[in-house]
Amino acid sequence: MFQTGITFNVHQSSPTMKAIHLLSAMLLCSICSRSQSISQGPFSASNFSTNLILGANATWNNITNAGASDNVYADFGNLTGPSGSFTNYLVATNFGFSIPSGAIIKGIMVKVEQADPNSQTSDYRVRLIRKGSILLTDRAEIALLPNSDLTANYGSDNDLWGTAWAPKDFGVDFGVAISMQRGATGLPTAGKIDNIQIVVYYTFITLPVDLTDFSARPRDGGNVINWVTADETAMDKYDLERSPDGRNFSLLSKITPKNLPGNSDYTFTDASPLKPVTFYRLHMTGAGGFDKYSTIVSVRAGGGSSFQLYPNPLNSGQNLHISNNGHEDLTITFFNLAGKTAGSINTDKDLFSVSFLNGQKGTFLYQVSDADHVVRQKGKILIQ
């Protein structure tokens, strides 16, 4: 774990000192990255605009100046109305976030470097923008702005601003809208913003289940499907699904998770299996948006494991599955309709590429042979 003694508590500074602080902040960000602190930012906005608020007394000038800490400011001049008179929104978007897929958003912090040399200005509204719309949750504070540059923080590492967030919400149309008001009387307002930044905090959930086995076997009375899980913690349900072709599945049964530590064993009997082959898969859903399918297994009517190929038809360039539940060493040979060999492959996997067919398309016959050269399966497949 890396440690640092760098602190950032000086808010009034020259452009040179601000550059030093920025360099130090970049160093600190690098240290956080190496210590696996999960956050992005602070990042500054690159797009600026104004947005009208009904009843506003002033609008913002030089709005792009709020994109860097350089002592060059966005401002709105003097609010000539009484205490409580307010400005339109200064809108800052496109902060350059790239939140990884699967991240769970934990909090958002807005950092605004601002001042009023006359100490006449306070916040009116500070609201986030999601998918281009200004949200209702407001983090404005009533205190007067200081007379020299100070960075105010709105939100925190565990504040979601009353909204559920997804990684895709932090694109170019994500940002913040800021309005200021006259908070005191006696002097002209001189509120100004030097820089607007945002930090996004996130984490990744631990998967609520580990599926260690999923199998199906013929038995008297039907096909028996069994699966074993480890350390279920927050599972919602298991949907056992079946299919006649390995592609189009329908619900067979809903099973309630046990949600117990250690291993849990589940068994279900399909008393009316499909013919000639039944394919099975398990749809697992749980906490934090966990949504996953098991591998597909199959049973041939009349007993024995089937080495059916699927999906059928197969799109050119798509990988081909084989229901090789026991991972046997198999040779799969393809023939054209004239009986001429088109290609073959040896595999003990349940998924493989058909690139050895060199882009050939059409209807093919195939046969599956085991390590003893016994033909275990024959069939027909369309590659389109």
342 and 264 housed in the same domain? no
198 and 217 housed in the same domain? no
Helices (H), the chain: 15-34
Tell me whether residue 109 is in a domain: yes
Give the confidence band of 151 by pLDDT, cuts at 50, 70, 90: very high
102 and 139 housed in the same domain? yes
pLDDT for the residue numbered 238:
94
CB 267 within 8 A of CB 213: no
Q: Return the minimum-mean-pLDDT range out of 133-147, 265-279, 368-382.
A: 368-382
Name the domain count of the chain.
Answer: 3
196 and 273 housed in the same domain? no
The CATH number of the domain holding residue 286 is 2.60.40.10
Position 329: which residue type?
Answer: D
Tell me whether residue 71 is in a domain: yes
CB 377 within 8 A of CB 368: yes
| Largest interatomic CA distance in the chain | 98
CB 206 within 8 A of CB 104: no
Instruction: Please say if the pLDDT value at position 9 is more than 70.
Output: no
Give the confidence band of 98 by pLDDT, cuts at 50, 70, 90: very high
The bridge status of strand 47-51 relative to strand 89-93 is: antiparallel
Q: Is residue 356 helix, strand or coil?
A: helix
Q: Which of 166, 183, 203 is the last residue of a domain?
A: 203
**Which residue, among 35, 90, 303, 83, has the nearest Cα to 185 in the 3D structure?**
83
The CATH number of the domain holding residue 336 is 2.60.40
Tell me whether residue 30 is in a domain: no
Q: What are φ and ψ of residue 28, in 5° steps? A: -65, -40
Tell me whether residue 2 is in a domain: no
Cα angle: 49, vertex 55, 57; to 5 degrees:
70
Cα–Cα distance between 162 and 106 in angstroms, integer? Answer: 12
Cα–Cα distance between 125 and 137 in angstroms, integer? Answer: 9
183 and 322 housed in the same domain? no
Tell me whether residue 368 is in a domain: yes
The CATH number of the domain holding residue 146 is 2.60.120
Give the confidence band of 303 by pLDDT, cuts at 50, 70, 90: low
pLDDT for the residue numbered 216:
86
Tell me whether residue 301 is in a domain: yes
Report the C-alpha dihedral over residues 314, 315, 318, 320, rounded to 10 degrees. Answer: 10
Cα–Cα distance between 146 and 179 in angstroms, integer? Answer: 16
Q: Return the minimum-mean-pLDDT range out of 90-94, 296-300, 330-334.
A: 296-300
Q: Which of 203, 228, 260 is the last residue of a domain?
A: 203
Instruction: Please say if the pLDDT value at position 24 is more than 50.
Output: no
Tell me whether residue 175 is in a domain: yes
pLDDT in tens, 65-82: 999 999 999 999 999 989
DSSP class of 145? P
130 and 224 housed in the same domain? no
Q: Which residues pair with 320 in a beta bridge?
A: 352
Tokens for 327, please give them: 């991972």
Q: Which of 281, 306, 331 is the last residue of a domain?
A: 306
Residues in the chain: 384
CB 260 within 8 A of CB 284: no
Give the confidence band of 187 by pLDDT, cuts at 50, 70, 90: very high
Give the confidence band of 225 by pLDDT, cuts at 50, 70, 90: very high
CB 88 within 8 A of CB 52: yes
94 and 237 housed in the same domain? no
Q: What is the pTM of this model?
A: 0.50
243 and 364 housed in the same domain? no
Report the C-alpha dihedral over residues 335, 341, 343, 348, rounded to 10 degrees. Answer: 70
Q: What are φ and ψ of residue 296, in 5° steps? A: -95, 135
Host domain of residue 346: 308-384
69 CB contacts (<8 Å, ≥6 apart)? Answer: 18, 21, 22, 113, 194, 195
257 and 230 housed in the same domain? yes
299 and 318 housed in the same domain? no
Tokens for 361, please give them: 């398309």
Instruction: Please say if the pLDDT value at position 112 is more than 90.
Output: yes
294 and 330 housed in the same domain? no
292 and 315 housed in the same domain? no
Tell me whether residue 7 is in a domain: no
Give the confidence band of 12 by pLDDT, cuts at 50, 70, 90: very low
